[in-house]
């Protein structure tokens, strides 16, 4: 199993979050869905932030729309400084959960709100663990 440098910093640090990163390595986004009200969320909370109901684990289709984004020009550590400029987006997954991840495959200046994107999971350990690309794009 290959995990990225970024994931390696995280797995094993919090038992609640490990399942999410294990799923990413397997090429999927793991969500929690409330068994009472159906609300979906990414953060590994023990109960639903909407109604305090019990969550169950589900897998996302990995598709959604770009809610907002930042183009990082100044990074605060060496590893990220080598990557600027890069885009981090807030994606509203179709299941209703918001997630942060890289956005690639679109010129940052051409990004538009609510553009459709899909998640990819680069196997290269030096790449970010989740990268959203335009939904119609063929490349990963």
Partner 1 sequence: MSDPRRRLSFLGRTALAGVGMTALTKASGRSVLSLAVEACRGAADDAGLDLSDVDGVLSFSFNNDSVSSQAVATSLGLPAPRYLSDVNLGGQAPAFLVMQAAAAIESGMARNVLVFRALNGRSGQRVGSTRAPGLAPAFRYPHGLTAYPQFIAMWARRFLIETGGSELDLGAVAVAQRTWAVDNERALRRAPLSIEQYVDSPMVADPFRAVDCTTEADGACAVLVTSRARAADLRHDPVVIEGAAYGTGKRSGLDAGDAMLWPDLTRNYTSIIAEELWNSAGMKPADVDMAQLYDCFSSSVLLAMEGLGLAGRGEAADLIRAGHTQPGGRLPVNTNGGLLAEGYLHGMNTVAEAVYQMQGRAGVRTVAGAETCVVTSGALTDGSALVLARQRREAA
**The token pair that represents 73 in the structure block:** 């020009």
Angle, CA 67 vertex, CA 61 and CA 70 arms, to 5°: 115
For residues 135 and 62, the answer to whether their CB atoms sit within 8 Å is no
The DSSP symbol for 71 reads: E
For residues 88 and 81, the answer to whether their CB atoms sit within 8 Å is no
Nearer to partner 1 by C-beta: 35 or 68? Answer: 68
Verify binding: residue 6, partner 1, rule CB under 8 A.
yes
Verify binding: residue 23, partner 1, rule CB under 8 A.
no
Verify binding: residue 58, partner 1, rule CB under 8 A.
no
Nearer to partner 1 by C-beta: 92 or 138? Answer: 92
Verify binding: residue 122, partner 1, rule CB under 8 A.
no
For residues 101 and 128, the answer to whether their CB atoms sit within 8 Å is yes
Q: Rule CB under 8 A: choose which of 1, 46, 74, 138 binds partner 1.
A: 74
**The token pair that represents 112 in the structure block:** 């538009």
- CA 93 to chain centroid, in Å, comes to 9
Nearer to partner 1 by C-beta: 43 or 56? Answer: 43
Q: Which residues of the shown chain bind partner 1 in the complex (CB under 8 A)?
A: 4, 6-7, 9-10, 13-14, 16-17, 20, 41-44, 49-50, 67-77, 80, 83, 85-86, 88, 90, 97-102, 108, 113, 128-130
């Amino acid at each position: 199993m290959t995990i990225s440098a970024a994931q390696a910093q995280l797995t094993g640090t919090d038992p609640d979050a490990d399942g999410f990163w294990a799923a990413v390595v397997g090429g999927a986004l793991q969500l929690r869905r409330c068994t009472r009200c159906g609300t979906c969320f990414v953060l590994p909370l023990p109960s639903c932030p909407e109604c305090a109901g019990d969550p169950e684990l589900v897998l996302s289709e990995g598709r959604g729309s770009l809610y907002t984004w930042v183009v990082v020009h100044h990074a605060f550590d060496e590893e990220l400084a080598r990557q600027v400029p890069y885009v981090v987006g807030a994606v509203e997954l179709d299941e209703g959960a918001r997630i942060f991840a890289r956005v690639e495959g679109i010129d940052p200046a051409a990004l538009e709100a609510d553009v459709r994107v899909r998640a990819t999971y680069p196997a290269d350990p030096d790449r970010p663990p989740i990268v959203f690309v335009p939904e119609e794009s063929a490349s990963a």
